[in-house]
Amino acid sequence: MAEETDGKSLLFDNRYLRKLIVPLMIETLLSVTIGMMDTIMVSTVGEHAVSGVSLVDAVANLFIFLFSAFATGGAVVASQYLGRKDRQSACFSAKQLMYLSSSFSIAVSLLLLLFQEPFMRMVYGSVEESVMSSALAYFTPIVLSFPFLAVLNSANALFRSMGKSSITMTVSIIMNLINVTGNAILINVVGLGAMGAGIASLLSRAIACLFMIYRITRQKEEIHIEKPLSFQPDFPMMRKIMHIALPSGIENSIFHIGKVLVSSTVASFGTASIAANAVFNGLSTFANIPGTAVGMAAVTVIGQCCGARDYSAASFYGKKLMKLTYMMNGVTCLVMFILTPELALLYSLSDEAYGLAVKTIRLNMFQTFLFWPPAFMIPNYLRAAGDARYTMFVSIVSMWIFRVIFSKILGVYLGMGFMGVCWGVFLDWYCRGICFAIRFKRGAWKKKAVI
């Protein structure tokens, strides 16, 4: 049965939330593992390979999160149509989402393949040549995987809109098995080094994408793509998706441009700091797994509530999901804090890089528990309601002031090095969290409309 608050029956009970969130947590864990396994397994080649992979990942994430913006826009529109019980429009919006994500990702891949070396040298021109060589070897297969990943992200988002996160979890399991097996063969047996890690990621994403295309075209699914080979563009429907996707895409792209600039700053501190940053990003992501999973679930839950125009339910679930995130984050952050020294040993690091990684990761566990949830959970609530422009504005301003400028001041001019960069990131979280919490509490998002 549905829960009740203020005497009114709500849309989702605890059983539904568990069925949605638990597979998403497993999926997020597995998704994080793919990137982490690339770094761990390629570390056997040397610290230059770890650094090269981390530099490419920083650039690749700029485009990956841009693709995710399309998926988020499509998921919000589809969720709101489902909340309104308009299945036909939800299906049609899914088809338009696939047009947008596939065409954009193919265009990006072609441009990056044509100008990959000039692009990488423009961003990371000051790094050692051995690091750049590994980065370029890893870059090509990763860029080739972009169209597969963009379509996969879109299909996954649509299945989450239906509450079928167990399917996306299954796909993540398949991807991890292929990726780990491919890494073991291509890196350790064939000896392809960083390029082997990239090829394994390409294969895992391509196979998972083909599987999800098969699933999303089955008519028995609540949201499915009818006549996939029939080209039926609908620009009004695309505009609805872009109403969410465009601000989110601008936000994510500029945000990750900032992250690339920060990575460039870290690169200026030397190879030990680059390697420590790679481990910091890999291990710290584990602490965010519960919040990331709940955040994805929130798009479905809040989106359907807003589609049904039940804003009291949206507020209720927003608070409930935030409490749940704090409880789960508390457990993961404590475990990660205790195990950080042992986990950092999984990477083949110099003593300097190891010490720096352990120190910054432990600091990050404390910050993640207290300040990550409002900074990154509440924006999903606002996007699901159609309030994407506000999240874009706050994220961009906060990122440039604190994550980019303050990181440079603290890390370079005040001589704090990589630790100063970390504090710039934390200041960004403080600003975002305060702004988003005030916006959600005041309720301006209730006046936004997507469909």
Burial class, 221, CB count within 10 angstroms (exposed 0-12 / middle 13-18 / buried 19+): middle
Q: With cut-offs at 50, 70 and 90, classify the pLDDT of residue 238.
A: very high
Q: What is the secondary structure of 242-269 as a DSSP string?
A: HHHHHHHHHHHHHHHHHHHHHHHHHHTT
pLDDT, mean of residues 327-346: 92
Q: Above pLDDT 90, what percent of the chain? A: 54
- Higher model confidence: residue 267 or residue 304? 304
Specify the range with the lowest mean pLDDT, choosing from 61-70, 252-261, 319-328, 425-434: 252-261
Q: What is the pTM of this model?
A: 0.79
**160 CB neighbour count, 10 Å cutoff:** 25
Given a cut of 90, is residue 284 above it in pLDDT?
no
Given a cut of 50, is residue 135 above it in pLDDT?
yes
Q: With cut-offs at 50, 70 and 90, classify the pLDDT of residue 277.
A: confident
Q: Which amino acid is at 341?
A: P
pLDDT, mean of residues 425-447: 94
Q: With cut-offs at 50, 70 and 90, classify the pLDDT of residue 333.
A: very high
Cβ 198 vs Cβ 142: under 8 Å: yes
d(CA 104, CA 146): 10
Residues present in the chain in total:
451
Q: With cut-offs at 50, 70 and 90, classify the pLDDT of residue 34.
A: low
Given a cut of 70, is residue 36 above it in pLDDT?
no
d(CA 100, CA 414): 45
Given a cut of 90, is residue 130 above it in pLDDT?
no
CA dihedral 205, 395, 120, 131 (to 10 degrees): -80
Given a cut of 60, is residue 29 above it in pLDDT?
yes
* Residues whose CB is less than 8 angstroms from the CB of residue 77 and which lie 6 or more positions away in sequence, other chains included: 90, 93, 97, 237, 240, 241, 244, 450, 451
Q: Give the helix ranges, DSSP H, for 115-225.
A: 116-124, 129-144, 146-161, 165-183, 194-216
Specify the range with the lowest mean pLDDT, choosing from 36-50, 237-251, 355-369: 36-50
Given a cut of 80, is residue 217 above it in pLDDT?
yes
∠365-334-64 over CA atoms, to 5°?
A: 45
- Cα dihedral 136, 255, 339, 181 sign: negative
* Residues whose CB is less than 8 angstroms from the CB of residue 449 and which lie 6 or more positions away in sequence, other chains included: 386
Q: Looking at residue 117, what is its pLDDT?
A: 86
d(CA 131, CA 13): 51
Tokens 């965010």: give the residue: 288
d(CA 285, CA 33): 10
Beta bridge partners of 8: 5
Given a cut of 90, is residue 12 above it in pLDDT?
no
d(CA 17, CA 294): 9
Given a cut of 90, is residue 392 above it in pLDDT?
yes
Given a cut of 60, is residue 7 above it in pLDDT?
no
Q: Above pLDDT 70, what percent of the chain? A: 96
Q: What does the domain layout of the chain look like in residue ranges?
A: 11-447
Q: With cut-offs at 50, 70 and 90, classify the pLDDT of residue 4.
A: low
Q: With cut-offs at 50, 70 and 90, classify the pLDDT of residue 35.
A: low
Contacts by 231-236, CB closer than 8 A, 24 or more apart? 232/95, 233/96, 233/99, 234/92, 234/96
pLDDT, mean of residues 143-171: 93
Average pLDDT, the chain: 88
pLDDT, mean of residues 36-50: 73
d(CA 149, CA 29): 17
**22 CB neighbour count, 10 Å cutoff:** 15
**216 CB neighbour count, 10 Å cutoff:** 23
Q: Looking at residue 1, what is its pLDDT?
A: 41
* Residues whose CB is less than 8 angstroms from the CB of residue 181 and which lie 6 or more positions away in sequence, other chains included: 200
d(CA 214, CA 364): 40
DSSP assigned state of 45: T
Specify the range with the lowest mean pLDDT, choosing from 172-181, 218-227, 253-262, 284-293: 253-262
Q: Which amino acid is at 268?
A: S
Beta bridge partners of 9: 4
